[in-house]
Structure 1
Amino acid sequence: MISSGQLRAARALLGIDQKTLAERAGISLATIQRMETSGDVVRGVVDTLTKVVAALEESGIELIGENAQSLAGGRGVRLKPKHPEAG
């Protein structure tokens, strides 16, 4: 659904701190902190994840899934696929 890196990057693009995102999503600061320090894909209660995604989208963030196109246009960033190093 969302990676910890996407979550941190989304906050950076918005220029907000963890506390502000927690307030916008209606969840605790500790929950945002756990989400951002989790492994690659953020795991948690579906309702909580939905609240965070909704708060980001309402703030102007478009989350783009892996191998998905962004049809909304506008500027954005995306990680390139990792390629194994030639040996």
Structure 2
Amino acid sequence: MTSNSGQTGSEAASAAARTLTDPNATEEEKAAAASALSQAPESQGETGSEAASASSRTLSDPERGDAEKSAAASALSQSPEDPEGK
């Protein structure tokens, strides 16, 4: 499997932290935010398939704000690349 070396930047990590503490954030938003935080420079994690799916749904939801979409995009940027190029 090809590896993606991207990491969550400080602004995206801050947005993700705000999302995690937002009582109005959905479970999908919180999953994307948690995944983004797991990609912070101190972490060695990768975004899993469930978090990637939640992130994708967050990005395509027109009612989601910039902070949620930033965290979701960051999480997706750390998804493992498909070894078959799909």
Q: Which has the higher contact order (CA 8 A, sep 6+)?
A: 2
TM range (shorter): 0.3 to 0.5
Decide which structure has greater helix share.
2
Q: TM-score, normalised by structure 2?
A: 0.34
Q: TM-score, normalised by structure 1?
A: 0.34
